[in-house]
Amino acid sequence: MKLILTLIYQPHQKNRLLALKFFLIFAFISTLTSNGQVVVKSVAFGGSSYGSAFPIAPITIEADVSANEKPDLSIIFRFCDENWRPYENFFLENTGFNKDHEIWLTNLPVSVSGASYHFSKSFPNKNVTFPFPGKWMYFIVDRFDEAKIYYSGGFFVTANEVRLITAVKKETLIGSTALQNTEGRSQKLTIDFELPDELFYNKVSHIEVVENRKIYSPIKLDTEEFDNLRYYEFDGYKGFSFVVRDLYPGNNYRQTDLRNSKRFIEPDVKAQIDMYETSRYFRPGKRDMNGSFKLMNDQNPEADYLNVEFTLSPDIDPGDRVFIAGSFTDWLVLPEFELFKEQGIYKRVIELKRGIYDYQYVVLTSGFLDWYYLEGNFWETENSYSIFLYYNSDENGGYKKMIGYKNIAGANAKD
């Protein structure tokens, strides 16, 4: 099994600079098979190739496949710990119901370049079940050699044993000039809940808050580690209140819409019709898709793959490394998506299927990832927050069990 070292951000800081940490995660993996190179791309959740929903079961996984000959594929599912590592506990392996070998590939239109086949499959089904609430990984593999992993990703199986009550409110963390200084604009998220009688207060583990689609880099509130920006309160019996005060709203994401074949003529196109993109530090963005994407239907003869060039000309040169992160990177800051600088312009060409994609630019400076230097930070930004409550369960040999879930869709701070 191949692992790729990736860069992600840890959003727990007292200013706009977000600490860089390294994390091993199963990433987009392509492997050579006996039939030639097999690449799984444009993976979407939702039930239709028109869009990508937040990854919560029940799910439909669909994707295009590039291969010289039609490959035989399987999908394997593994229950994971809080860091997306599959449990090695026999009781949590779900043996007999963790694989699906019935992955049928259909041909894409002959006019489509970049891929030849497509599949779509819904889970759970007769072959696959998800008996444990929490984080799960799926692995798209060679049916006859499961060590060949073509793609992997994560999703959630939710539970609602505990009802979560939430509130979001504006806060100013830096001085009194926050209206002019975007660094000061934050939000206070309060999560209240009461345990049922059968659960014990000392087994409450932590809460994770996922902003939009950033599932691999959640904001975490732990009962073991807390400070004045992230903390919890306990009434001594069953009632808890978890608080996040450094919930920065950021900006609505940038978008590229590549669906118009007369406007974006294949194969080499610009992400935007304007020559260059610029900084948005003082400029709120337009409505976005909360970090998602929408693809053209797989049977559309114009649903081609394009070489899309992103070009950035900052108003003030950050003087450091610049990355692009978005729905096509799983919102991870990855080395292969770093922009290169040419005569003051930052550039990167990325292969994308025709569709609409959310994205933004991130600066790496002095060991920190800054998500706001080029994008700004505005209370008016509407985000989606998915909140998960975990509990140290003794079931099945012991694991962190998800016992509560809530989504705040389109949320922005209220006075």
Tens of pLDDT along the chain (415 residues) come to 333 333 333 343 433 333 343 333 333 333 333 335 899 999 998 755 556 889 999 999 999 999 999 999 999 999 999 999 999 999 999 999 999 999 999 999 999 999 999 999 999 999 999 999 999 999 999 999 999 999 999 999 999 999 999 999 998 876 545 445 577 899 999 999 999 999 999 999 999 999 999 999 999 999 988 889 999 999 999 999 999 999 999 999 999 999 999 999 889 999 998 779 999 999 999 999 999 999 999 999 999 999 999 999 998 888 789 999 999 999 999 999 999 999 889 999 999 999 999 999 999 988 889 999 999 999 999 999 999 999 999 999 999 999 999 999 887 877 6
Q: Residue 389 pairs with which residues in a beta bridge?
A: 207, 404
Report pLDDT digits (tens) over 278-327. Answer: 999 999 999 999 999 999 999 999 999 999 999 999 988 887 899 999 99
Sorted by where each begins, the domain ranges of the chain are 4-157, 165-249+379-411, 254-370
DSSP summary character for residue 339? P
pLDDT of residue 27: 37
What gap in Å lies between CA 227 and CA 387, rounded to an integer?
20
What gap in Å lies between CA 156 and CA 210, rounded to an integer?
12
Please report, to the nearest 10 degrees, the dihedral formed by the alpha carbons of residues 222, 84, 253, 186 taken in order.
10
pLDDT of residue 52: 81
What gap in Å lies between CA 196 and CA 181, rounded to an integer?
44
In this structure, whether the domain defined by 254-370 belongs to CATH 2.60.40 is answered with yes
pLDDT of residue 50: 59
DSSP reduced 3-state for 335: helix
Closest by CA position to 226, among listed 209, 207, 201: 207
Report pLDDT digits (tens) over 115-142. Answer: 999 999 999 999 999 999 999 999 999 9
What gap in Å lies between CA 75 and CA 98, rounded to an integer?
8
- Asked if the domains 4-157 and 165-249+379-411 are classified in one and the same CATH topology, the answer is yes
Phi, psi of 201 (to 5 degrees): -60, -35
pLDDT of residue 178: 45
Phi, psi of 87 (to 5 degrees): -65, 140
Token pair 């959003």 in the structure block, residue:
11
pLDDT of residue 49: 56
For domain 165-249+379-411, give the fold: Immunoglobulin-like (2.60.40)
pLDDT of residue 5: 33
AA letter at 357: Y
CB distance 379 to 111 below 8 Å: no
Buried b (16+ CB within 10 A) or exposed e, 222-238: ebeeeeebbebeeeeee
DSSP reduced 3-state for 157: strand
Residues belonging to the chain: 415
CA-based max dimension of the chain: 66
pLDDT of residue 10: 39
pLDDT of residue 412: 81
The pair of structure tokens assigned to 158 is 């939710």
What gap in Å lies between CA 137 and CA 152, rounded to an integer?
7
pLDDT of residue 251: 96
Give domain 4-157's CATH number out of 3.30.1660, 2.60.40, 1.20.120, 2.40.50. 2.60.40
| 394 HSE (CA, 13 A, CB side) | 5
Buried b (16+ CB within 10 A) or exposed e, 254-286: bbbebeebeebeeeebbbbeeeebebbbeeebe
pLDDT of residue 257: 97
- The alpha carbon of 369 is separated from its chain's Cα centroid by a whole number of angstroms, namely 17
